[in-house]
Amino acid sequence: MFELIPFGRTHTSFDPFRELDEMERAFFGSNNNGRVAFRTDVIDTGDAFKLEAELPGFKKEDIKLDVENDVLTISAERHLDNDEKKPNFIKRERFYGSYSRSFDVSGIQVDGITASYNDGILSLNMPKKVETMPATRRLEIQ
């Protein structure tokens, strides 16, 4: 039977797993030198922002939160298990490596940020900076 190979391809055999991987990379894209960024939601709760990041499969110890120059960086690193008792893989989709995202926190009280990690979701509560109104005063004319 004839194989359906797109025009311009040089492979001689069809690999559905390779094709699915290429389709996923084309659709979702990647950044950070090939590292896929994790997904986040940012919610305005009025006096604070709530950031929720999907980091399934990570241990709390593998996640780092750094703030420098009004930039919050969330990074997570997954290590390869070198356990000899693992079965021979036919396909392995869970990769090791590092993932990170950065966010502008110039309008946030950095000292008031709190974080929790539960069921693969990292939640950050980030209170907004209180806008201070300059004090007004009347000057006397001399």
Position 7 scores a pLDDT of: 52
pLDDT digits (tens, 9 = 90+) for 48-72: 999 999 998 888 999 999 999 989 9
- Encoded amino acid at 17, one letter: F
Dihedrals phi, psi of 26, to nearest 5 degrees: -70, -35
pTM listed for this prediction: 0.63
pLDDT digits (tens, 9 = 90+) for 23-46: 766 665 554 444 557 889 999 999
- What kind and span of H or E run contains 50? strand 48-54
pLDDT digits (tens, 9 = 90+) for 77-120: 887 665 555 677 777 776 677 888 999 998 899 999 999 999 99
